[in-house]
Amino acid sequence: MPDILELERQLNLTDLPLERVGVLIELCKSLRTSHLAQAIHFGEEARSLAQRHEYWSELTEALIGLGWCYHDSADYRMALEVLEQALGQHQESGEQRLKAKHALSCVYERLGDYQNALPLLGEVLKGTNPHLQPREYADTLNSTAIVYMELHDHAEGMRYFRESLEHYRQAKAWVRFANTSANLGVALKKHDGDPLEAEQRFLDALQVFEGGEYQTQVTTVLMNLGSLYVQTGRTLEAHETLTRALHLSTQLGLKLIEAYVHQKFGKLYLAQGQLENAEKSFLESLLLFGFVDFAKGEMEVREDLAQVYRQMGNFEAAFHELKALHTLERKHFDETSNKRLRQLLAQFEVDKERREAEIERLKTVELENLLQEKSRLVEQLEQLSITDGLTGLYNRRYLDSEARRVYGEARAGELCISLADIDFFKRVNDTFGHATGDEVLKQIAVLYRENTRAGDFVARYGGEEFALVMPHTRVNEALEVCERVRSAVEHYEWSTIHPQLRVTLSLGLCSALELGSHEKMLQNADHWLYQAKHEGKNRVRYGFSGLQTLEAGVYVHPLTAQETQ
């Protein structure tokens, strides 16, 4: 790494614009891992100077460096802005274009936009020679691994991490090797890997990072190591490690990491029964996640807070957090589905124009075959846009369109809509791991298919929430279907997934066409779902009319004898 003091001396000695731009870019890169705010300051100065003097290659380099800095500071709006500007420079080299695409893919990954991230990474891998550029190739493998882990393809993610480590070893890029080693530690921690191996991966990474100016990486590794200690019940080590992480994240202005550290402290206090301290830490985390506009973290903390309030006996506050969680989840699912649809439609239009131009130019049988193949791929993409990737059920966007259509065709008393939520699903993930949680979601989708009728319409509505639309169905028939699903979930041999696993389902049902829209029927079903949760879970709850009804029916299947109404 260039000497910071030497770079600052060079900057003070030169008035030549081109030389100043070069030094400013080096300062931006060098300070990124230790003094992020200063790095952004120098990067913006380089950007302005290069743009003013029309140094286009240097401008692209400055924009890429700034993109990484804004990525690290969780300012994803600015990161997207500068990286898209970098890709819009017509004078950039092929190597610069690959660098910009790699950085942009990492921003998309942080935003949860994996459909944009993965194709960009594929382009970068294709354009990078692993023998001539082993370090850059390994960087892209590491980023690809992260996306696959977020997509719950853990086997593929682990494979990319380990392949990345091999290329770093060949390149003797030990700092990057340490970074990926830490990532592998995170993967092992989150997905039921060996905790001792995970700890060793983190400690190996710390040994490298603490030997240089890599304070951002040190902070991230400390946060993950502290989380591992919380997870494995090593209380004193957890508190000491997280305290160091909190001090560094605050000092460096790493708001996203600071938010996660407060969340880990909350989990530590919760495990110790210190509920007031847990609440305080979770609220601080929630504030910071909101500040950086990171919905994924906010959803996690809402669920954590609900658990704290339940243990405090403050069920009203717990109910409020769960409502807020469901609102966030639905918004996230809506935004993701709509964004994906827009991408597919835009790509379809581009492909359509290209096909028409090729037909006019060539008019050959070979071209016709190519067009047919492209049309088939478009149909596949359109199918993917309406399907939930994990369960294979329809997604919420498609459910809304179908429910609207069915509502318009329904006669009085012949449409029922149900919403269901897996009971204690957070506990399943925390106790048995997210891989087990994914298997539970997939099996419940199977049970829905097996226990609903040919004309029924099933969709994954949210994280662990499912919707069932039953056209031409009266309430007594709908209750039988819902009860059949509930019973199938309760009596399924969950031990085939994990010996200690038990899963139940709470359902809310609405048959009130007079509410005026399918959205209001869904809201009504959601109301009765919350009633089912409130009254003990593992039951079907419904009302004979709108949200203000006093007359209601319920199937009760308490989890324990003490919960019997």
Spatial contact of 201 and 179, defined as CB atoms under 8 Å apart: no
Residue 411 DSSP symbol: P
Distance between CA 282 and CA 130 in Å, rounded? 44
Residue 513 DSSP symbol: G
Successive 10-residue mean pLDDT values, the chain, 565 residues: 80 91 92 88 94 92 93 88 86 82 91 86 90 90 90 87 91 90 89 87 91 85 94 94 95 92 94 94 91 85 89 87 79 58 46 52 60 68 77 90 88 88 95 95 96 93 94 93 97 95 96 89 95 94 55 38 30
Give this prediction's pTM.
Answer: 0.46
Residue whose C-alpha is closest to residue 293's, from 78, 117, 69: 78
Residues in the chain: 565
From the number of C-beta atoms within 10 Å of its C-beta (0-12, 13-18, 19+), residue 499 rates as exposed
Enter the tokens of residue 350: 């581009």
Distance between CA 74 and CA 546 in Å, rounded? 44
Amino acid at 7: L
Produce one character per residue of 378-406: b if its CB has 16 or more CB atoms within 10 Å, e if not.
Answer: eeebeeebbbbeebebbbbbbbbebbeeb
How do strand 505-510 and strand 539-543 relate by DSSP bridges? parallel
Q: How far is CA 559 from CA 284, 311, 322, 424, 460, in A?
A: 34, 18, 20, 12, 24
Distance between CA 528 and CA 540 in Å, rounded? 8
Residue with tokens 């919960």: 563
Spatial contact of 252 and 261, defined as CB atoms under 8 Å apart: no
CA atoms 166, 124, 186, 222: torsion sign:
positive
* pLDDT attached to residue 112: 80
Residue 525: CB partners within 8 Å, gap ≥ 6?
417, 418, 419, 467, 508, 509, 510
Enter the tokens of residue 336: 């993701």
Residue 38: CB partners within 8 Å, gap ≥ 6?
27, 31
Paired strand residues for 539: 556
Distance between CA 504 and CA 418 in Å, rounded? 16
Distance between CA 286 and CA 281 in Å, rounded? 9
Q: How far is CA 419 from CA 161, 245, 330, 476, 486, in A?
A: 39, 41, 13, 16, 12
Enter the tokens of residue 471: 């056209």
* pLDDT attached to residue 8: 87
Helix, strand, coil shares, percent, the chain, to 5: 70, 5, 20
Beta strand spans in 405-492 (E) = 415-422, 457-460, 465-471
